[in-house]
Amino acid sequence: MSTTSDPSDPSDLSETQSSNTDLELTDKKQRKEKKQRKDKSQKKDKKQRKKKKLQTSSSDEMSKQESKSSSVSDSHSTPTNATSLSIASEEDDTLQPPSKSRNKKIKKKMRDLSKKKLGFKNQFIALFLKNLYLQKRAKKTNLIIYAFTIIFIVYVFGVGEIVHRYLEETIPENKNPESYESDIFLNANFPYVDTPTGSPDKFEGELSAMSQNLTFYVTRDYEPDDQFQPILTLYDTKDSLDDQFFQSYEKNLQEIAGGIYFEHLDLSPDSPKVEYSVYFNSTDTTNMIIQMYKQSQLEGLTMYMPTLVNTANRNIFKKLWGDDPSKSGDAADLFVGLKDFPEFKRKEALDIMSIEQPFSFNFILHMLFPVFMVSIVYEKENLLIDLMKMMGLKTRIYWLVNWLFDWALYFVQVTVFYIMLVILRFRFITQNDFSIHFVLLLLWGNTMISMAFFLSNFFKKVKSTYIIGIFLVVFLTFVLPTYYWSIAGNNSTPYTIIFLLKCVPSIAFVQALMAISDASAIGQPGAKIDETSLDIKNTGSSYLFLFVQSIIFYTLTAYFNGFFDPVLNKIKHFIKKKFLKKILHHTQTIDQDEEDEVPQDVLDEIKRVKNCDDEVRILGLGKSYPGKDGNLPKHALKGLHLGIPKGQIFALLGPNGAGKTTTMSILSGLISPTFGKAYINDLKLNRHNMDKIHQIISICPQYDCLWGEQSGWETLEFFARLHGYQGEILKKRVTQTLQDLDLFEDRKKLINEYSGGMKRRISLAISLIVDSKIVFLDEPTTGMDPSSKRKVWDVIQEKKADRAIILTTHSMEEADALADRIGILENGKLRAIGVSEELKKRFGKGYKFSIHTNSTKNDKRAHKYFMKKYPNAQLLNSLACTRNYEIPKDDILLSTVFNQFESRKEKLGILDWGISHTTLEEVFLRITVNNEIGDF
């Protein structure tokens, strides 16, 4: 007989048994195997109990004391006791009763452990070490960021220096430009003044008004009159006029548009001689002309300068000589010369650094922002936060440790940043008070971390977080600040827009950086605490903005992470009381409608669970997920009743989407039920009790929730520590669990280097290492090879003694091998419950029989013979000389089958034949696929 079967594949096993092996023998073998496994575990339990008994007798009093302390500490002190005791027995091979001093030691250890379980310190250390290991592994990323900080600062410095030198070389400097004299201006433009537009008065008026806006300097002893005040100032020498211009130019007093210097001012009535030069600031003057006359630069200049001279002449001469026409400008010996304004290299113009550094620093100090977000999203994407929560993590400690780590990374970067600025002697450091920029960087670090925390709530994938994070950095450090810079200095920009822009933290930061850079630009004294040249109003408001923004982001992060849930739930509950009542009523009606369909075994379980004292009691649990995109709500669980006592493995079977994971998630506190109740170790499942419940449960989730960059040892150490183990006990537990699951050799390997099966074993190890009272195993052996699977089964069997284990699996072989009881869930409802054999009996129709012959002729003959022997048998299918039948249970006497077919093998040309029992898989399919007994 030729049936190949993979022992790990339930479908193979369910189909056939060898004809060479008698069915009963096969049955016996199977039962024997199972019995052996159970015996083994029972023996071990017995042995352990024996050891405990020896030790417990002496530490009995202490246990009582502990159990008195509180129901919570009781609930977790037992596993702790068990742990300590089992470890003690491991150490003590001779099994001698422990001495008094040793008892004291154990007692103290246990008291310490129970005190510290899930305590702040342990969880803090666990998370801290976890982050430390991960940071160690992520040092490449961090080093890149720090190296980039150095490179970028050197770059900023280099660019500043290069531009400085370039400007120094290219900006012309001419403190006393040559005069250039020309009759052209005089001849060409004097008449122009008289009749420029046919309205000389108006034109003169304009010029006069214009000249009032200019500053004119006139040498010699001349008192300004009303009309020119305050534009005429007298200087004795040409040098003093030059000095004045030079100083005003250095001070950037660009409103000086021009000046007049009188070389000769001979006012003798017979031969008056006036000779003067006009200095003009070509840029300012030209701009003014362009504005006034909307002329091109050249036209404006050529038109304006002579008329300016003319106006000056007329006004001056008028003042000197009055209205006497014989002494008018026409009669005077006039010489008009032009002179350009002196040019200087202004230091401020060369200080490109003070302009580029706010943007560059803003960019550099944003680089850690995506890193902060990614570290949180990674744990979210890999469901690690969920797993940690289910294993007892207190969310506030999680955020606190992340916050501290982000600060640590930022501090390193800021230190590198400062060192570089000091080395390169940036004026930002040398000119400004340390506290001014240090406080700013502190505020920025705080705001950036809070912003990363807040935004991480909206990302689910690490990849998209990186991409969007980098995009955000570019947007926040280049695009937005450039826009802000372009409008901020403009007085016409409404404050609302400035305010809204400053609500973006990066803008508030860059604004403060700009102010500090400006204060320390070349020629400026720097920002000082007491005597500051800082724009206090703007800078102070930026500091305040950053602080307030961080408070808002932290508050929102706390909201998104359920910190306010207890209060909000109370409010919600109060508001929605009526609405909720309706939902409950609705679901109860559904249950009522389908009451007739509830099988007897399920009804029995409903009755039993109401009065039992099982470790896990589920009473009418229901979960509805809200419908999305207009779909109806999904009722994932519709009133489940179930009880799982201590020392039992309960297999919850069901097709995809039956509600198994939903049940586990509710029981482990990850999601809350829509209705119904559950008790875990007599603690009612509710938000209030969740911390206590997390101390007594552990879970192996359906998907491996692991840090790829942690080693196997570090992973287990983390979860054990999270659950309260420490010191030697912690090490022993980790070692033992790794050994149990054949992972000890690979303990130093990173999880990323583990195979799929190894990762699964580590996930299982996480749930077993903490010695919890209730263990949830969601498809624990998926992807394992047959030998690992069997090893894992042994471990699970061994661990069940003090625990209630709830197992979900799609492997019927696994359920058959491990489960003490099986429940089959379908579409959110329990369809059957019982011991495997019972279910097979109840749902099995009989035996399966298969015959394989060597020819078509023999196939028919064998069929005829078979039908003669078993007239009530039903042919299920026939293909290529192979026929499959189903025989009613009562029609067959197993002891005769062998003779009937083995003796006729040759005569009927039978190559192979086989008979098999109803398998669990058949039961499962009958219940779930057709949902109608007998249709299979």
Ligand X SMILES: Nc1ncnc2c1ncn2[C@@H]1O[C@H](COP(=O)(O)OP(=O)(O)OP(=O)(O)O)[C@@H](O)[C@H]1O
Q: Contacting ligand X (CB under 6 A), which of 123, 661, 695, 836?
A: 661
Nearer to ligand X, 456 or 702 (CB): 702
Residue type, 750: L
Q: Contacting ligand X (CB under 6 A), which of 639, 654, 701, 914?
A: 654
For 338-353, the DSSP string reads EEEPPB---HHHH--H
662 binding ligand X? (CB under 6 A): yes
Three-class DSSP labels, 479-536: HHHHHHHHHHCCCCCCHHHHHHHHCCHHHHHHHHHHHHHHHCCCCCCCCCCCCCCCCH
Say if residues 146 and 412 touch (Cβ distance below 8 Å). Answer: yes
Give the binding range for ligand X (CB under 6 A) out of 404-412, 528-536, 651-659, 688-696. Answer: 651-659
Say if residues 751 and 707 touch (Cβ distance below 8 Å). Answer: yes
Strands (E), 498-631: 616-625
**Which residue in the block uniquely carries the two structure tokens 């530490």?**
59
Q: Contacting ligand X (CB under 6 A), which of 353, 393, 519, 636?
A: 636
Nearer to ligand X, 191 or 633 (CB): 633
Residue type, 900: Q
Q: For 17, which DSSP code?
A: -
Q: How far is the CB of 659 from ligand X (least distance, A)?
A: 4
Nearer to ligand X, 429 or 807 (CB): 807
Residue type, 262: F
Residue type, 244: Q
Give the binding range for ligand X (CB under 6 A) out of 391-399, 566-574, 653-661, 795-803. Answer: 653-661
CA–CA distance, 936 with 844 (Å, rounded to integer): 10
Residues 6+ apart with CB under 8 A from 883: 850, 851, 859, 862, 863, 866, 875, 877
Site string for ligand X, 557-576 (x = CB under 6 A): --------------------
Three-class DSSP labels, 460-486: CCHHHHHHHHHHHHHHHHHHHHHHHHH
Strand ranges of the sheet holding 258-266, from the earlier edge strand across to the other edge: 179-181, 333-340, 273-280, 258-266
Q: Contacting ligand X (CB under 6 A), which of 366, 389, 427, 660?
A: 660
Nearer to ligand X, 636 or 743 (CB): 636
The strand pair at 216-219 and 232-235 is best described as: parallel
- CA-based radius of gyration for the chain: 46
Q: How far is the CB of 665 from ligand X (least distance, A)?
A: 7
Q: Contacting ligand X (CB under 6 A), which of 156, 260, 658, 806?
A: 658
Say if residues 219 and 237 touch (Cβ distance below 8 Å). Answer: yes
List the interface residues with ligand X, window 339-368 (CB under 6 A).
none
CA–CA distance, 343 with 887 (Å, rounded to integer): 113
Residues 6+ apart with CB under 8 A from 283: 254
Say if residues 26 and 924 touch (Cβ distance below 8 Å). Answer: no
CA–CA distance, 579 with 593 (Å, rounded to integer): 22
Nearer to ligand X, 219 or 624 (CB): 624
Say if residues 647 and 821 touch (Cβ distance below 8 Å). Answer: no
Nearer to ligand X, 674 or 711 (CB): 674
Q: How far is the CB of 484 from ligand X (least distance, A)?
A: 42
List the interface residues with ligand X, window 702-741 (CB under 6 A).
702
Nearer to ligand X, 588 or 827 (CB): 827
Q: Is 851 helix (H, G, I), strand (E, B) or coil?
A: strand
List the interface residues with ligand X, window 101-160 (CB under 6 A).
none
Q: Contacting ligand X (CB under 6 A), which of 200, 205, 657, 727?
A: 657
Nearer to ligand X, 502 or 660 (CB): 660
Nearer to ligand X, 456 or 665 (CB): 665
Q: How far is the CB of 360 from ligand X (least distance, A)?
A: 45
Site string for ligand X, 665-704 (x = CB under 6 A): -------------------------------------x--
656 binding ligand X? (CB under 6 A): yes
Give the binding range for ligand X (CB under 6 A) out of 29-37, 526-534, 589-597, 660-668. Answer: 660-668
Output the furthest CA–CA distance in the chain (Å, rounded): 161
14 binding ligand X? (CB under 6 A): no
* Packed helices 495-502 and 480-488: angle between N→C axes, nearest 10 degrees: 150
Nearer to ligand X, 298 or 632 (CB): 632
Nearer to ligand X, 658 or 667 (CB): 658
Residues 6+ apart with CB under 8 A from 133: 709, 710, 711, 714
- What would the two tokens of residue 130 be? 């976890």
Q: How far is the CB of 825 from ligand X (least distance, A)?
A: 7
Say if residues 14 and 770 touch (Cβ distance below 8 Å). Answer: no
Q: For 800, which DSSP code?
A: G
Give the binding range for ligand X (CB under 6 A) out of 271-279, 586-594, 654-662, 676-684. Answer: 654-662
659 binding ligand X? (CB under 6 A): yes
Nearer to ligand X, 152 or 625 (CB): 625
Polymer length of the chain: 936
Give the binding range for ligand X (CB under 6 A) out of 307-315, 366-374, 377-385, 659-667. Answer: 659-667
CA–CA distance, 916 with 221 (Å, rounded to integer): 131
Task: Please name the helix (run of DSSP H) or strand (run of DSSP E) that holds residue 879, with its range, or none.
Answer: strand 874-879
Q: How far is the CB of 830 from ligand X (least distance, A)?
A: 12
Residue type, 183: D
Residue type, 338: L
Q: How far is the CB of 700 from ligand X (least distance, A)?
A: 13
Give the binding range for ligand X (CB under 6 A) out of 91-99, 455-463, 547-555, 656-664. Answer: 656-664
Nearer to ligand X, 306 or 669 (CB): 669
Q: How far is the CB of 809 from ligand X (least distance, A)?
A: 9
643 binding ligand X? (CB under 6 A): no
CA–CA distance, 117 with 695 (Å, rounded to integer): 8
Among 225, 202, 177, 183, smallest CA distance to 309 is for 183
* Cα 843–Cα 846–Cα 848 angle in degrees, nearest 5: 120
Strands (E), 728-820: 774-778, 804-808
Nearer to ligand X, 278 or 636 (CB): 636
Site string for ligand X, 310-329 (x = CB under 6 A): --------------------
Q: How far is the CB of 827 from ligand X (least distance, A)?
A: 9
Q: How far is the CB of 592 from ligand X (least distance, A)?
A: 22
List the interface residues with ligand X, window 610-629 (CB under 6 A).
625
Where does residue 747 fall: left (phi above 0), alpha (psi -120 to 50 degrees), or beta otherwise?
alpha
Q: Contacting ligand X (CB under 6 A), which of 34, 346, 634, 842?
A: 634
Q: How far is the CB of 635 from ligand X (least distance, A)?
A: 8
822 binding ligand X? (CB under 6 A): no
Nearer to ligand X, 812 or 851 (CB): 812
Task: Please name the helix (run of DSSP H) or strand (run of DSSP E) that holds residue 280, with its range, or none.
Answer: strand 273-280
Q: How far is the CB of 814 from ligand X (least distance, A)?
A: 14
Nearer to ligand X, 666 or 722 (CB): 666
Give the binding range for ligand X (CB under 6 A) out of 53-61, 359-367, 652-660, 829-837. Answer: 652-660
852 binding ligand X? (CB under 6 A): no
Q: Which residues bind ligand X (CB under 6 A)?
A: 625, 634, 636, 654, 656-662, 702
